[in-house]
Amino acid sequence: MQYYSASSPISQIRANNFLFEFDQCIDELFPSHPFDSGISIDNFERVISEYLAMSISFPYIQAGAIYNNYRLTIDENNDINKNVEITSAIGSFLVFDEFGCYAQTQKFGNDGLRNLTNVGHNFHSNLLRRDIETLLGKRVKPVWSDVTNAYLSDLLAALSDQKLNRNIAYMIAFENHANRMIMSLWNAIHLLFNFPKDSKLSYFYGHVGGESPAEAFHVEMTQRMIEDLVPEVDVSQFISSCIKEYTANISWCERILSLSNSDKRIQKDA
Ligand SMILES: [Fe+2]
């Protein structure tokens, strides 16, 4: 089994170039996101129900991946390595953030810790539920279709796999894609519902709106991992790996769009 350690890690300058190069590759390969033109009033509810399922699942999967990566390492009689430590530090921050705990401690310092049990208000997935209710005038149930379940299983497998730093490639691709996907979704909502891009849609505003959108920092934070863990000689292989993992995210979006459109066709034919 091949593991990467930081024997000759990529320098900060090269890492910045990497980030730039990766972004450029994505722009070239995927000049638009499937949600840019694929969302309509007819399919919105189904698409957003699948998206909600992903949003609910993500922090639990990320937390599980931290455990899996640790477990697989010690099961092979290896000591904890830098990949386990760094991906756990970043991954646990992402979990803390998704559960709304980071926002509470940012706003209120230690006093915010008293609010962590206020999960209905804090969890990002619950912010999303409320935004959906604002848009559709009703609550929707999350839908874990076979397509979304398969995507989430692959997500867990990838985030748990440190061989060739696959977990890092996936984290980078996932965050980069999340930034673009949420932006596309927000643009679509703005057009479909004629809803202003303001703080009333708190899930979207918190992630990609305002002056300091959180998602952009997540992208940078996860990308910093390459400085410590990706050997200089393997940069081109690593960029291919990030592109492959990014493609898996795009493909999930395409597949839930196609599910949602065929749902609508069946309803119309009935
Ligand atoms: Fe989030």
Residue extents of the structural domains in the chain: 12-269
Banded model confidence at residue 5, pLDDT cuts 50, 70, 90:
very low
The overall average pLDDT reported for the chain is 90
How many A from CA of 269 to the centre of ligand 1?
Answer: 37
Query: What residues contact residue 174 under an 8 Å CB cut-off, 6+ apart?
Result: 155, 222, 245, 249
Q: Which residue has the higher pLDDT, 267 or 129?
A: 129
How many A from CA of 92 to the centre of ligand 1?
Answer: 13
95-106: average pLDDT = 94
| Residue that is written with structure tokens 């932006």 in the block | 183
Query: What residues contact residue 256 under an 8 Å CB cut-off, 6+ apart?
Result: 46, 47, 50, 51, 145, 147, 148
How far is the C-alpha of 138 from the C-alpha of 135, rounded, in Å?
A: 8
Question: What local confidence, expressed as pLDDT, does residue 216 receive?
Answer: 72
Banded model confidence at residue 2, pLDDT cuts 50, 70, 90:
very low
How many A from CA of 244 to the centre of ligand 1?
Answer: 23
* pLDDT over 90 at 224, yes or no: no
Here the tokens at position 181 are: 């996907």
* pLDDT over 50 at 67, yes or no: yes
How many A from CA of 234 to the centre of ligand 1?
Answer: 31
Question: What local confidence, expressed as pLDDT, does residue 198 receive?
Answer: 78
How many A from CA of 207 to the centre of ligand 1?
Answer: 6
Which of 40, 48, 33, 51 lies closest to 188, judged by CA?
40
Banded model confidence at residue 188, pLDDT cuts 50, 70, 90:
very high
Across 24-33, 52-61, 165-174, 214-223, least confident range: 214-223
How many A from CA of 230 to the centre of ligand 1?
Answer: 26
Question: What local confidence, expressed as pLDDT, does residue 4 receive?
Answer: 44
How far is the C-alpha of 97 from the C-alpha of 249, rounded, in Å?
A: 21
Across 20-24, 117-121, 251-255, least confident range: 20-24
Out of 1.20.910.10, 1.20.58.1610, 3.40.50.620, 3.40.50.300, which CATH number does the structure's domain 12-269 have? 1.20.910.10
Banded model confidence at residue 197, pLDDT cuts 50, 70, 90:
confident
How far is the C-alpha of 256 from the C-alpha of 115, rounded, in Å?
A: 35
34-44: average pLDDT = 96
Question: What local confidence, expressed as pLDDT, does residue 3 receive?
Answer: 44
Exposure on the CB side of residue 163, measured as CA atoms within 13 A: 7
Question: What local confidence, expressed as pLDDT, does residue 18 receive?
Answer: 79
Question: Burial letters for 189-199: b for 16+ Cβ neighbours within 10 Å, e otherwise?
Answer: beeeeebeeee
How many A from CA of 28 to the centre of ligand 1?
Answer: 26
